[in-house]
Structure 1
Amino acid sequence: MSPDLFGMGDDDGAAGASPAYGAGPLDAASPTAPLADRMRPRTFEELAGQQHLLHAGSPIALMRDGRHLSSIVLWGPPGTGKTTIARLVARTAGAPFVQISAVLSGVKEVKEVMTLAAATRKRTGKPTILFVDEIHRFNKAQQDAFLAHVERGDIVFIGATTENPSFEVNSALLSRARVLVLKELQPADIRALLERALTSEHGLANRVAAESEALDLLAAAADGDARRALTTLEIAAASAEAQGRGIVADDVREAFARRHLRYDKAGEEHFNLISALHKCLRDSDVDASLYWFGRMVAAGEDRLYIARRLVRFASEDVGEADPQSLLITTAAFAAYHQLGSPEGELALAQAVVHLALAPKSNATYVAYKAVMAEIEQSGSLPPPLVIRNAPTGLMKELGYGTGYAYAHDDPEAAKKQPHLPDEIADRKFYPKKPGASGAEGA
């Protein structure tokens, strides 16, 4: 499982073949548990950066206050509090709590949970709060399995996803749940959390101090992920303690090491590497393209972000010079989505190779930009009467569709009839490039 804010993960028994079942999901963590686990908020007041979800009358506030339990989907970046919110809701509502992972759980586990939830409601009259981590990893058919139990009231469904629910969650399930958007934590939120972890009895209990520069660096480099920040702090603290001193900036840099050193996903290096990949693809340098792709993977970049950029490149820089590129990149996106890392990375590498070797054209991109600029300038110009729809007698009397030439019957006449508004009748948007192959030279 990929645990959420402050990282209670597989060791809590909540994922995989034996889903956790109980009403006390926020008991104090063991002193030997990871720092991110020990610092998990135990009340809504301790939850960082998500106060916009807790105002009076909000779904979470209603559940927190025991007034109304409703199904929700929590959408936000890693480490922003999705799991924590689900567990806090369960504790304050006094309801049974089950957590499963869409990565590790299959049909058998889902059926087991549904059976237990139905039995619990029959015995106690209370629904079970079911938290499904990474709900986007279940396909639409698997997500359908929850619908009947949500409707009967056996479960209150809480899904967590880092992906846009509009694309990744079944529309039938979405219609029965409220989507709540979690915000990426700001550096100030992370800094406050780190300071609390240094002094808290659940954290480092004042065993080690930290320079202000080190905390600032860590807060900025954590990329809004509280779990990442706390994990890195714990590593840096162990190094500093071993040397009998406080935490300095170099300890933080060393703790970030391969994945995060000089690669803040919102920072300069992130944009430097994606720019390098894009330009090397455009210049048809297959070796350099593979290298910069590999650098991004090694640095921990979101593979789906890379996949989206490859799909964009297929339309923007290859276009009709090689229409297969769009199919190949979307297939690579889907393959990675199904396989994950590391297996799915090969599909993305294959797409990189194809794009680098493909012929290039930005004609579609140039044409689209020209069209949008024209629309911005000239506004909503009406279509010529000849190509307007005429579903009523009145419209026909007004000349809608009169004289329309059906291209399959008379292609020459069809080419000569007006297609653009009169004001821009002679406007050309698509650049016809001499010597271009295929549809590009049409």
Structure 2
Amino acid sequence: MEPDLFTAAAEERQEKDPSASPLAVRMRPRTVDEVVGQRHLLKPGSPLRRLVGEGGGGPAGPSSVILWGPPGIGKTTLAYVVSKATNKRFVELSAITAGVKEVRAVIEGARRAAGGFGKETVLFLDEIHRFSKAQQDSLLPAVENRWVTLIAATTENPYFSIISPLLSRSLLLTLESLTDEDLSGLLRRALTEERGLGGAVTLPEDSEAHLLRIAGGDARRALTALEAAAGAAMDKSEKEISLQTLEETVDRAAVKYDRDGDQHYDVASALIKSIRGSDVDAALHYLARMIEAGEDPRFIARRLMISASEDIGLADPTALPTAVAAAQAVAMIGFPEAALTLSHATIALALAPKSNAATTAIGAALADVRAGAAGPVPPHLRDGHYKGAAKLGHAQGYVYPHDVPGAIAAQQYAPDAVHGKRYYEPTRYGAEARYADVVEKVRERLRGD
């Protein structure tokens, strides 16, 4: 039997007894208008609208679409909506378990269905980035000849993970993470609509806030948790899903943390101060609180990058590259895996030798500039690449450092107003000890000593 996501028998059973299916399945959008989020892809006349036959007789939709975005935001749902809206067969394959043999079988089945019954096929291929180049090549004939409408989903950058011939023949749609507002609207519908919970229970504000946090932008996770908590509440003859019931059901305590309030800033401050104080265990505790509360991982990553320069600097020159790499990784993978990357960076920064010399150096330099201690650039440092510069004395007398031994020329660089000022005062911690030795020798050479 073909690996259809929803067989005819399953759909018939669901129509007769909706409660037999999980809540996440029952609340699956039936039309494009019911899709949660992704407003940028659902505008009138958009490629996605044309793919489902809308658009007022305009050009036909694409034969291949690549959906790129984090898990749980509706990639499978969009593919299913396309198949329902266009009355096409829907076949799902996962690149984790399928190979070329399974792909060819689906393509052959699609050709038979089109030839014998005039029924077109939508092939949804999940996690296409796990396919090898040869496996992705096997899709090209079906895409080029429109034997199937290919909708491929990936959580990784398609420019790195999908072969160029397939990418060039496909429409790339970037899906955005679902917002709390998106999920809140979905939860309200699930609570009230007959195909959902039909008003059997209500969800107080504090319970909804906790549910949104543990969902982490994942609609499937939110609905699964809601269904479990609603069942527990009804078993206890409760008309509302209390926070206690929700905590017991999902086995996760509500973190006292308001992303828009004082707790947000207090916990973020405690994380950075724990890193600055080299208390790796405290830093991990505050990191865990932020993650558990549903904090945006990009916000955490930005704070770590700032900490790397503010509190570590040249005492460990690898700290900033580590933090930047973590931020890039977080942007690519998202939660839950991003927690590992943030932990990696937090531990590295907390245990690194500390120096705020870079922070105090730029602070002192900025203070002088703001106080008016600037002055004109010394004439020999000014631009000399234009006609008449020599007559003005610009760039005259400049000593090219590479022409002198040691590549350090004894000449004045700073304006007169701050000449001789020392902004950078390196520490003797970690790798910065080497800079402390170097900077004194350099300053001596610059003075001509």
User: TM-score, normalising length from structure 2?
Assistant: 0.65
Corresponding letter in the other structure for 2:269: S
Aligned with residue 316 of structure 2, among 315, 322, 335: 322
Q: How far apart are residue 55 of structure 1 and its match?
A: 2.1
Q: Structure 1 residues 48-57 or 262-271, which shifts more?
A: 262-271
CA gap of 1:264–1:113, structure 2 versus 1, over 3 A, is farther
Query: Paired residue for 1:45?
Result: 33
Asked if 1:55 is matched to 2:49, the reply is no
Q: 1-side partners of 2:63 and 2:266: how far apart?
A: 44
Q: 1:44 to 1:332 in 2, by over 3 A?
A: closer
Letter in 2 for 1:115: R
**Contact preservation (8 Å) 2:315, 2:353:** yes
Cα displacement (A) at 1:62: 0.7
C-alpha distance in 2, partners of 1:405/1:244? 87
1:289 maps to 283
Q: Would you say 1:82 and 2:112 are equivalent positions?
A: no
| CA deviation vs aligned residue, 1:119-178 (integer Å, no higher than 9, x gap) | 45665489864545456x649969975885687356655454567x48865594665433
Q: Secondary structure at the match of 1:41?
A: coil
Instruction: Give the secondary-structure state (helix, strand or coil) at the position aligned to 1:178.
Output: strand
CA distance in 1, matches of 2:142, 2:291: 39
* Residue matched to 1:6: none
Give the secondary-structure state (helix, strand or coil) at the position aligned to 2:174: strand
Measured in 2, the distance between the counterparts of 1:120 and 1:156 equals 13
1:322 CA drift (Å): 0.7
Instruction: Give the aligned partner of residue 34 of structure 1.
Output: 22
Greater mean alpha carbon deviation, residues 91-100 or residues 411-420: 411-420
Structure 2 residue runs of 5 or longer lacking an equivalent are 55-59, 440-449
Of 193, 198, 222, the match for 1:200: 193
Q: Is the 8 A contact 1:317 1:360 kept in 2?
A: yes
Q: Report the more deviating stretch, 66-75 or 141-150.
A: 141-150
TM-score of the pair, normalised by structure 1: 0.66
Give the CA deviation at 1:363.
4.3
Q: Identify if the C-alpha distance between structure 1 residues 294 and 365 changes in structure 2 by more than 3 Å, giving closer, same or farther.
A: same
1:303-353 deviation digits (Å, cap 9, x = unpaired):
787667545543443221112334555777899999999999777655544
Change (3 A) 1:177 1:403: farther
- Structure 2 partner of 1:5: none
Corresponding residue of 2:252 = 258
Of 218, 226, 237, 2:219 maps to 226
Give deviations 1:245-290, integer Å, cap 9, x for gaps: 3014333454454265445767765654443222201111133224
- Give SS of 2:30's match: coil
Question: How far, CA to CA, are the matches of 1:110 and 1:430 in structure 2?
Answer: 62
Of residues 98, 110, 115 in structure 1, which corresponds to 2:104? 115
Match status 1:239 vs 2:227: no
Q: Which string of whole-angstrom CA distances, capped at 9 and with x for unpartnered residues, describes residues 91-116 of structure 1?
A: 324455444456x35xxx34345434
Q: 1:98 to 1:425 in 2, by over 3 A?
A: farther
Identify the residue that residue 444 of structure 2 maps to in structure 1: none
Amino acid at match of 2:83: A
Tell me: CA distance 1:261–1:425, structure 2 relative to 1, closer, same or farther (3 Å). Answer: closer
d(CA) in 2 for partners of 1:97, 1:27: 13
TM-fit CA distance, 1:88: 0.9
What one-letter code is carried by the residue in structure 2 that aligns with 1:286?
V
Instruction: Give the Cα separation in 2 of the matches to 1:387 and 1:127.
Output: 70
Contact 1:211 1:246 (8 Å CA) reproduced = no
SS across alignment from 2:190: helix
- Distance change >3 Å, CA 354–CA 143, structure 1 → 2: farther
Q: Indicate how the Cα distance of structure 1 residues 330 and 258 shifts in structure 2: closer, same or farther if over 3 A, else same.
A: same
In 2, Cα distance between the equivalents of 1:424 and 1:36?
A: 69
Flag the 1:113–1:418 CA change in 2: closer, same or farther, 3 A: farther
Output aligned runs, 1:38-437, within 5 Å: 38-65=26-53, 67-75=60-68, 79-101=72-94, 104-105=96-97, 109-116=98-105, 119=108, 124=114, 129-133=122-126, 138=130, 148=140, 152-153=144-145, 156-160=149-153, 165=157, 172=164, 176-182=170-176, 184-187=178-181, 189-206=182-199, 208-210=200-202, 213=205, 217=209, 221=213, 224-250=217-243, 251-255=245-249, 257-258=251-252, 261-262=255-256, 272-295=266-289, 310=304, 313-326=307-320, 349=343, 351-364=345-358, 407-410=401-404, 415=409, 431-433=424-426, 435=428, 437=432
Partner of 2:57: none
Distance (Å, rounded) in 1 between the aligned partners of 2:261 and 2:136: 39
Distance in 2 between residues matched to 1:19 and 1:352, nearest whole Å? 43
AA aligned to 2:242 is: A
Name which one, 1 or 2, has greater alpha-carbon Rg.
2
* Aligned equivalents of 2:49, 2:187: Cα separation in 1: 26
Gaps of 5+ in 1: 1-12
